[in-house]
Structure 1
Amino acid sequence: MIYAVLTARLALAGVLLVSAIAKARSFEDARAMTDGLLRRVGPGARRLARPAAAALIAAEGVTGLALLGPGETVRPGLVAAVALTAGFTAVAVVATVSRAEVSCACFGRPTARLGRRHIVRNTPLLGLAVLGLAGAGAGPGASPAPPAVVLCAVTAAVITVVTAFFDDIADLFATP
């Protein structure tokens, strides 16, 4: 279980940190995405788009760092990862059901309209976060062997890259 938790921690940290950095680099796109989501709440909520985008970037960054941090930050980091991925998945579900015209700037640049493909992308991340949290509650295990740590890190890197470029990958397989 120690390797599953380590892989989950590293993958979620990678995804969240890449997302936070990409959103910070393309802040106006992230602000436009939050504006599009807040427009569904009401006209007064739209003035919160800029602070909401900044808070989202901060939450992703802090959670990613907590997952990479020492033992005492891991459990709170996993709880935050569950909350974030559940929230992202819920937003994708609501956007899909309501047919909201919101471009996903989840990794900085707007790619596709927020919808089903984002539910498909976010659900395994939510599963990883839940797995990590459940496994972290199992108590300390033996120290991981260095070759296994490398395998966990490589697996996490693949998960991070596939997640960050999921829209591009989905577009490759989309029917014209």
Structure 2
Amino acid sequence: MTYVVVVARCLLLVVFLVSAFSKLRGRERFTEFVSSVRAFGILPAGAVRPVAALVVLAEAAIVVLVAVPVTAVAGFGLAVGLLLVLTGALAVVVRQRQRVTCRCFGPGSAPVSRRHLVRNGLLIVIALVGAAGALLAPAGALHPAGTTLAIIGGATAALLVVHFDDIVDLFDFRSGGPDRPVRSVGHKPSSR
């Protein structure tokens, strides 16, 4: 179970690092994130910027907490709490069929949809499994090769999460993905 904890720690560290960094990369990026939070229409106008700043602060705290083994359980707990709140906000947007751009990982054009609920649900499960493993598994020496594989697996899975919208769009055969024209793959028009 301890290698599962390493995978979960690495995955959440990379996901929340990318998420926080994408919002703090510059004033424009943070302003775009604030605008997307405002577009959700859930918060009073005066609370939007402070809540957006609190989200980024929580993301950064998760990175630090899951990076250190003795604080990993607190990091998992904070991740679950933040993800539950964010998933609740996403669910409101999906239920109301609003067209709000997802700015979870910086600039993007994907509107909030059920796919984001699925992604967050998976992250919640990973954080819960990581917390359970960290609490229940005896602390012991890990084999360097196993630890390396767990880190690589966690980082790879994190990249899949970060690029989840792009991956889903690759397999969206109905419309060619959002904001993309439909095109035929592997079929050349005849030259007659």
Look up the match of 1:47.
46
Pair 1:164 & 2:162 matched: yes
Determine if contact 2:42/2:89 at 8 Å carries over to the other structure. no
On the 8 A contact 1:104/1:112 being kept in 2, the answer is yes
Are the aligned partners of 2:15 and 2:161 in contact in 1 as well (CA < 8 Å)? yes
Larger CA Rg, structure 1 vs 2: 2
Runs (4 or more) in structure 1 with deviation over 3 Å come to: none
Residue of structure 2 equivalent to 1:126: 124
Query: How far 1:67 moved relative to its partner?
Result: 0.2
How much has 1:75 moved relative to structure 2? 1.5
Query: Take 2:38 and 2:155, find their aligned partners in 1: how far apart are those partners?
Result: 31
2:157 counterpart letter in structure 1 = I
- 1:139 shift after superposition: 4.6
Whether the 8 Å CA contact 2:2–2:137 is kept in 1: the answer is no
Please list every run of 5 or more consecutive structure 1 residues that lacks an aligned counterpart in the other structure. Answer: none
The one-letter code matched in structure 2 to 1:157 is: A
Partner of 1:12: 12
> What's the TM-score, normalizing by structure 1?
0.91
What is the aligned partner in structure 2 of residue 65 from structure 1?
Answer: 64
Tell me the distance in 2 between the aligned counterparts of 1:88 and 1:50: 15
Bigger fraction of residues in helix: 1
Q: Helix, strand or coil for the counterpart of 1:137?
A: helix
Contact 1:111 1:167 in 2 (8 A): no
Alignment partner, residue 101 of structure 2 = 103
Distance (whole Å) between structure 1 residues aligned to residue 76 and residue 7 of structure 2: 12
1:54-85, Cα deviation, whole Å (9 max, x unpaired): 111110011111000141x1121111011122
Give the total of aligned pairs: 171
Residue aligning to 2:36: 33
Paired with 1:108 and 1:134, the residues of 2 have a C-alpha distance of 31
Q: What RMSD, in angstroms, separates the aligned Cα atoms of the two structures?
A: 1.4
Q: Distance in 1 between matches of 2:139 and 2:69?
A: 15
Counterpart amino acid of 1:13? L
Q: Deviations over 1:91-118 (max 9, x none)?
A: 2222211112221000011331111010
How far is 1:149 from its partner? Answer: 0.9
Alignment of 1:75-114 (within 5 A): 75-114=73-112
Gapped regions of structure 2 (runs ≥ 5): 176-192
Find the aligned partners of 1:70 and 1:50 in 2 and give their Cα distance.
32
Q: Give 1:24's aligned residue.
A: 24
